[in-house]
Amino acid sequence: MSKIGIFDSGFGGLTVLKGIRKLLPEYDYIYLGDSARAPYGTRSQEVIYKFTEQAVEYLFNQGCELIILACNTASSEALRKIQQEYLVKNHPQKRVLGVVIPAAEKAVGFEYKKIGVMATNSTVESGSYIREIKKLDSGTEIIQKPCPLLVPIIESGEIHKDVLSIVLINYLDTLKNNRVETIILGCTHYEIILDEIKKHAGNIKIIEQSPVVAEKLKDYLKRHPEIEKKLSKNRSVDYLSTDITSRFEIFAEKILGEKIKVKRVELE
């Protein structure tokens, strides 16, 4: 039997894993964070694809049938090629899904006409959110705000420092001045500082990806019983990372509400 793989460039994707396990606790999961090479958001498309392909191949070799790219940068810069070329050639019976489309669908579902997106440089430059939102509603205006400082601040553990407030005020003012009605958190790391974002966003609705992705995965498995029936159901989770630091374990325990054991692996 097979597992569900969750991949992120670091530990931000643990928020997605938590949301999925809350809704679908019966399945077996493998979480893989490429902490040694994080963040992905400032890297070239070629490098992001290379790293993502290595992670996907590793997870397939570990027995995963289905993989969620719980990384907006990887979903924006690598997912399409992974699905259209890599899977067709190497693993035609397996599946890789992303986090951009579910968030876009959720935002458009509220019928807002001005949607803000906070994301990494790579995600913003890829235009993935503009592309997916416009497919659903061509009349929607999308205002993107690259937030290059947030992931380094979160990964450093300095999330309770005054500098975070200063940075968030700067980023959010751009979206407020454009009168956006809702904001998509286009990076799974950002949910770790959700309370701070909400405090500075005021009355603007915030769309978190973890519950949205969980709902979409549940629906996907209902629609694809040929995938679902292959998945093992022992409620287990394996945690893997390309680099094990105290910050990873501290944040993992904070996000998941439990102590975990992380195994170090190498991606080639």
Phi, psi of 112 (to 5 degrees): -75, 150
Catalytic residue among 16, 71, 74, 133: 71
Spatial strand order of the sheet with 64-69 comes to 95-97, 64-69, 3-8, 29-33, 237-241, 262-264
Compute the distance between CA of residue 154 and CA of residue 158 in angstroms, rounded to an integer: 6
Residue tagged active-site, from 187, 212, 217, 237: 187
187 catalytic residue (yes or no): yes
At 111 the three-state DSSP class reads: coil
H or E element that contains 83:
none
How far, CA to CA in Å, does 236 sit from each of 5, 139, 140, 213? 12, 44, 41, 20
**Among candidates 133, 132, 236, 148, which has minimal Cα distance to 187?**
148
For the purposes of burial, counting CB atoms within 10 Å of the CB of 86, is it exposed (0-12), middle (13-18) or buried (19 or more)? middle
Q: How far apart are CA 200 and CA 196, in angstroms?
A: 6
Distance, in Å, from the CA atom of 239 to the CA atom of 249, rounded to the nearest integer, reads: 10
Per the rule left: phi > 0, alpha: psi between -120 and 50, beta: everything else, 265 is: beta
Tell me the CB-side half-sphere exposure of residue 55, using CA atoms within 13 A.
Answer: 37
d(CA 25, CA 141): 37
Active-site residue list: 71, 187
